[in-house]
Amino acid sequence: MVDNPVVHFRMPYGAVRLEPGPALERAYDELALVSALQGIANRSAPRLYLCGVAGGGEADLDAFWWERLAELGWEVAQAPVDEVTRLPDLLERFGGLARGLVVWDPRVPATQAVAATVAGVEDLLPVARRPAPSLYADLVAAGWCERVRLDAPDGGVLFTGSGRIPGTDLPSSGSAKCDAYLWTKAHYLDRGRCSPVQLAYYIDAYWLKRPGVGGSFWNNTLVNSDYFIGERAFFCDLDPWEDESPIDDPDQVPGTDGRTLRAILRSAQGRAGGRMLRVGGFPPWAFKYTTHGVAGGKHDPVPTEWHFVHVVSEYDGYIEADALGMSAQANASFTRHLPLPPTHPQRPAPRLADLAEAGWCDAEGRVAPQRFFAFYVGDFDAPSWLYQALPRLWNDPDRGRVPLSWAVNPNLAERMAPALAWMRATASGADSFVAGDSGAGYVNPGALQAPRGSGLPSGMAEWARHCSEAYRRWDLRVTGFVLEGFAPRMGAEGIRAYTGFSPGGIVGQGLPAIGRAGGVPVADLASHGVGHPGVEPGAAVDAVRRLFAPLRGPQFAAGRAILMPPSWYRSVAQALEAEGITVVDLVTLLALIGEFCRRPPADPACLSAAGGAVDAGGLRPVPHGDGRFRLEDAAGRTCLVLEPQRAGITGHLYLLVEGWDMLADPPRGLTLEVVYREPAGAASGGSGLQCTYPTASAAYTPARVAASHTEDGWRRMSFVLEAATLWPAQNGGAHLRLSGPAGTAVAEVRLRGLEAHGGAG
């Protein structure tokens, strides 16, 4: 009888020395087998719970989460348990649920991942074929039968990277590693024997070659496999890049790994029946596929992450980013059985009356001339990061003393339900919840839209359905960060989809600093962040300060911080408040932007400066890395003076049309009038000022000069913007850009023609 009571198995592996050799191999092999056994045992009911993973400052993360399960009222976690400490006793208790062994070949490390796939599909326990003394030898001696062998019958290597892939009519890829995955694809994925919507992307047995790189035994991520084996997932570990041979298979033709990964994703997508693919895991950047340390790749870690997510997105997949150095997460196969209510309400978004009562706007929705800032509290797009980081962060004594918007992706409830349920049960009035990168899963939404590198039609409708259900269940109205990485920015199809399931607002890359989309407030996010471990509060305050311009009237900004405790946020917030910057949560910030943008933009929209500040009458400057300016008096007028990043290059002034609705009918022709002064030393009668604007074909289309004349040193120039779209396609989500030599002084800008073209949305 295995149903009751629950068994706790105390894992003895964490203290093993991270040195290649028999001791580490034995610990690795035992943990792989135990995790597979757990996935099989917990498939239909919670029976086996593992204890002993250390991380995030906790000596025993699993004991911590077991206590939370009991606090949440789960009877399973409140009943007595049986403690087991020896593997033979565990096998005696649960071994009858397995049909035998799948034996993998240490000479081809990828066969460890293949064995995990086979284990889930066929209810087998994976083990490496090693000479005695070894776990394999012990199991065979105990009478366990070898149901599937991933080496040749004579003990030789099965996957050689030549000829034909064994057991198929497929020609070899030229890589033993990739042949092993293509064999698995042909026998299990293509035939519908494993789940098409559950993929596990975790480092294979190559980890044993350089175990110290990850800094912890648990970063072999074997404990993550229980959930995926229980779900009969497809396991793989492949380099996503097309232009390199990975360090674990240096003789393959460059890109063979990448082509194999795409073949797997294409097969899964074709069998998913319109469902999104869940891809657990993350590129093992410290071990392979990047330039980091000994990883041997050609690309830096962040570009590798972005490329991987882009590739997965092109096949209607999202990732759950179990990334180093907190890549391990145990017991997801157990906690997925935690009973959850059908919905999880959070405190409602502020109404106009609430904003007015706080003094942030009047009863008509006119927003007070303050600087408003909100923290995006990340990054919680990975179950493993919730599992390891949340105990420290959520229990910080300063939580509840500063408005925080916790960006927890709702799809994580499948693999880390205790964290989401615990947060909701113990949230303070200052805690709000938004979705993180990029909704119900880390995806590049722009890569869901056609045309796509995969050749597939748009997957945006599937993504919208997937997110709508998750947002409804977890009462989410705001998407805190749409992360596009290397993918194209979302077009109208994607923006419309987000307005449907994220009606409280959308924040992300490629969006205007403030604006609307179909009436839904949108904003840009300082995606490079204002804080991460090691950043002092003073540096964060400086970063936030740079998000605001010397501008009269209300301003709005959001900044991303990663894995910072509430005490850090409180220190930053106190310093910001002392400078007159009002700190609100992200839900409130978007509500204020919605009120500010509710009125249509003025025609003409104008911008000027006086008395040390910019007056935005429908046009506002957008501070950006290559678009900086200073205020300075020039010939009796206060001007915006272009400040290039480096000497000798052109300076830029990015401009935003306030209140413009992204989904409004685009203007077909606009006129931009600029009054400016050329810098000292400019050629007489010449003009280095240029205007670029977005059209359907280009983000930086040069505007045509219609008229120009100079009087008393001031030049008045009129630009014609033909077939303009005013899509926020330029840097910082800007609509327009003025460019000129350093020292160009802009005194006044007017944009005409908005009223005739649906600017009200």
Segments making up each domain of the chain, as ranges: 6-335, 367-596, 605-757
Cα–Cα distance measured from residue 447 to residue 450, given in angstroms and rounded to the nearest whole number? 8
Quickly name the fold that domain 605-757 has: Jelly Rolls (2.60.120)
**CA angle, 286 then 290 then 295, to 5°:** 50
Query: Is pLDDT above 70 for 685?
Result: no
Bridge partners for 691 per DSSP: 738
Mean pLDDT of the chain: 95
| Fold match flag (367-596 vs 605-757) | no
Cα–Cα distance measured from residue 555 to residue 544, given in angstroms and rounded to the nearest whole number? 12
Q: At what angle do helices 460-474 and 413-426 cross, to 10 degrees?
A: 40
Confidence tier at 307 by pLDDT (50, 70, 90): very high
The predicted model gives 256-283 an average pLDDT of 98
The predicted model gives 180-208 an average pLDDT of 98
Residue carrying structure tokens 């200073």? 630
Confidence tier at 761 by pLDDT (50, 70, 90): very low
Confidence tier at 758 by pLDDT (50, 70, 90): low
Q: What is the pLDDT of residue 756?
A: 58
Confidence tier at 682 by pLDDT (50, 70, 90): low
Letter for the amino acid at 70? A
Q: What is the pLDDT of residue 525?
A: 85
Query: Is pLDDT above 50 for 759?
Result: no
Query: Is pLDDT above 90 for 665?
Result: no
CATH of domain 367-596: 3.20.20.490
- Identify the residue with better confidence: 304 or 5: 304
Confidence tier at 310 by pLDDT (50, 70, 90): very high
pLDDT digits (tens, 9 = 90+) for 21-55: 999 999 999 999 999 999 999 999 999 999 999 99
Query: Is pLDDT above 80 for 564?
Result: yes
pLDDT digits (tens, 9 = 90+) for 107-161: 999 999 999 999 999 999 999 999 999 999 999 999 999 999 999 999 999 999 9
Please state, in angstroms and as integers, the Cα–Cα distance from residue 139 to each residue in 29, 33, 120, 128, 393, following that order.
12, 11, 19, 11, 43
pLDDT digits (tens, 9 = 90+) for 579-620: 999 999 999 999 999 999 998 888 899 999 998 899 999 999
Confidence tier at 2 by pLDDT (50, 70, 90): very low
Output the CA torsion 465→411→241→259 (10° steps).
-60
How large a percentage of the chain has pLDDT more than 70?
97
Residue carrying structure tokens 């606090």? 71
Confidence tier at 343 by pLDDT (50, 70, 90): very high
**Can you read off the two tokens belonging to residue 220?**
């072999």
Task: Enter the pTM of the model.
Answer: 0.95
The predicted model gives 71-85 an average pLDDT of 97
The answer to whether the beta carbons of residues 236 and 343 sit under 8 Å apart is no
Cα–Cα distance measured from residue 228 to residue 21, given in angstroms and rounded to the nearest whole number? 28
The answer to whether the beta carbons of residues 375 and 586 sit under 8 Å apart is yes
Confidence tier at 688 by pLDDT (50, 70, 90): confident
Cα–Cα distance measured from residue 371 to residue 365, given in angstroms and rounded to the nearest whole number? 16
pLDDT digits (tens, 9 = 90+) for 414-432: 999 999 999 999 999 999 9
Residue carrying structure tokens 């900044």? 559
